[in-house]
Structure 1
Amino acid sequence: MTLGLERVEALLRSLGSPESALGVVQVVGTNGKGTTAVALSLALEELGQPAGAYLSPHVLSYVERVVIRGRRVSEEEFAAGMDRAISTADAHGIPASQFELLTAGAVGMFREAGLSWAVLEAGLGARHDATTAARPGAVVLTNVGRDHAEILGETIEERAREKLGGLREGAVLILGTSDPRVVRIAREEASRRGARLIGPVEGEGEPEGWGMAPYAACNVALGVRAAELLLGREVPDRGRIARRVPHLLPGRFEIHRLGEVPVVVDGGHNPEGVEAVLRAVRSVFGNRPLGVVFGVLRDKDIGSMLVPVRGEAGLLVLTRPEDERAADPGWVRREFGLHDTRIVEDVGEAVELAAREMAERGGVVLVTGSLYTCAAALGRLRAG
């Protein structure tokens, strides 16, 4: 992880400042950024404005990170765009990080495609995030929760200020949460930086019957509303946008089956995210017995994530995500006193074990804790 804007700013200049030809919207927050960003870009398209979305992280393939005019780019398009960024960095001796190369490469791809808008999902906070180098004219803040406290701060207020670190004079800030602590900081930061604050717009026009988790529907509504506010026009068919969003975002309340057992795969990786997906499972599947496959990274607030899981799960299987930062499931069991849990190191095998047990109980399986856990589970589930 490398913080600071110097490298990516130099890279963008060397690429001919592609961001200057685009209307840039930065989406920041703890949860729901990807869904909000995709919905926002699709809504801009619906209103006649060619748009792209840059997302992170990916789940199964790097191409998931770049959406142009409502479609995921091909591997060939992605490789060509990133080759331009990498070759430029090498030619100018710019020691850019992977995320900086991806960000600059995506912005360059948007310009090459002749787009009018670029919607950029921030990676971490915003003050030092590479997406801030694109000088966003609008910022959408989804919410502020408990994640990356060691970098962004221990309190909600500290984290909110970090997430608004990309705000600049003349920008528009669209606030997607009514949390009074965040609202206060948003007002202060907008006033101090000479930005215009709109909102909170949380839940405005929140739809029903979109066939997605309630939290995702709320994020879609925020993204659509943000586009409407930026362009001053209403989207005629919000449902059409909602139906397209899940195809561009794997691992967000994705429902599969192993035999007769529903398996929900969701990359909730902080306490609020886990709580939201558990509520969504109950809203869709009622009080059916629940087996949870849980794999998490070491740097997360694991104890707080496990509190709602322990309250809902009739079966808890601890597993290991496919990442060097993965928390050892044995350590998780000992550290948090989970004596009645199972440990299955391989994610795919953990899902199969949970599905077998839930088949006997008429239950449901939830895979959560990390997008890395989801990636491994989807590899098994999509293979049939």
Structure 2
Amino acid sequence: MLTGRALFGIGFIIINLLAYGIMLQTGELIGDVKGNVVKDYYSLFLSAFLVCSSYFFVLFILFSSLIKIKSPKFKFKFEKLSANRIGVLLLILQVFFIAFSLLNGVNIAGSGNTSTGSIFSIFWVFFPIDLFFVIYYGFYRHSYFFKPNLAIAIVSSVLRGRADIFLLILFFEVSKRIRNKTLKIKKLFFVGLITLCFYPILMVFKFSFRLYLGEGADQSLDYFIFELFDESLKEGYFHAVYSGVEHIISRLQTVSIVSEIGRFSNQLQDIYFQGGFYPFWLEGLHGIILDQSLGEPRNVPLGTAFTAVGDFNWTFNVGDWNTNPGLAGWLMLNPLWFGGYFLYILFLCTMSVIFTKMIGESDMKVDMLWYAWAFFLMPAWFGVFFLFVYTLLLFFVIKLILSSIPPIKIMSKSL
């Protein structure tokens, strides 16, 4: 039976195979390392094989196996009321988060490791609002406060120069309609065509906000918009649309980066053994806490460390950033780490399944969990995936607390 998960999972594999084919044909890498010639075709083939194999194994075999795990079931006293209470809490916090981010110039795509001395910054570290919304989407898609929260989440993402919210919506809604057997192929094709046609405009606004709010606060917003429009339309709008399709493939594939990590593996290993970036098992909140407790300076993940080593050809400054090393990237870096690497991935994935089931029942919770595996784990954003697992536990604790409070009357309605 076709599911949204299978559709997107196969799509990821096809995209990486297409990326491999494009690089074979042109002899040039794509994605963040675009402009560099392919220097080792065997390494490129090995990277494509490892990337596609990892997607198939993790998203199909491992996910299907671990989702069967049984976990403790909890009874929530006022479970129906907790949905609205969590919705109100999230709505308020999202508004505060937008204000905090824009006023302090943080949490914006392109701002990288930019931090602020505000005492409120600690709160947002331990309350990852974007990940909380992903979980909320998976459990409370049909609740009263979902649409207001979705609207605020879209505004928040656009203002912070992020486009991943649209991919999140696409995945959830397509999966929902396939499951309910209400998906119309013609409508999906039409929406996809419209999206591709407007993709260049979306990218212009994305990078405009990213540059304006991240690195170019001294420039006017319209300066970036018109400059990027001029850059995008130099060869005509049709070429811009074609470039948009190429950009989508480039952003979702990891073959080129994995191949380059293999090429720079000796240099990266030297940096690693000198403490230049986190081991995979320390990427994330726990690694930062450990550094702070030991009085050590904050370290960086592999994706950030590689940007200082690899060959990148950006035509404009996108700020402090990181790239997607891919789940296979660590294997290309050092295959001898495979045993510990696999056990750590297995541990995180198992915890994510258990915590998801502890939160409760929902027809979209499995889709939500799969989305996190596909978009946080597979690019090897271990810090983000660890934070997601933590946020699942946080969501459960908040639900447990809010569902224990008796009904409160507000304007003749119970909350």
Asked whether the two chains share a fold, i.e. TM above 0.5, the reply is no
Task: Calculate the TM-score normalised by the size of structure 2.
Answer: 0.23
Structure with greater helix percent: 2
Which structure has the bigger radius of gyration? 2
Task: Calculate the TM-score normalised by the size of structure 1.
Answer: 0.25
Structure with greater strand percent: 1
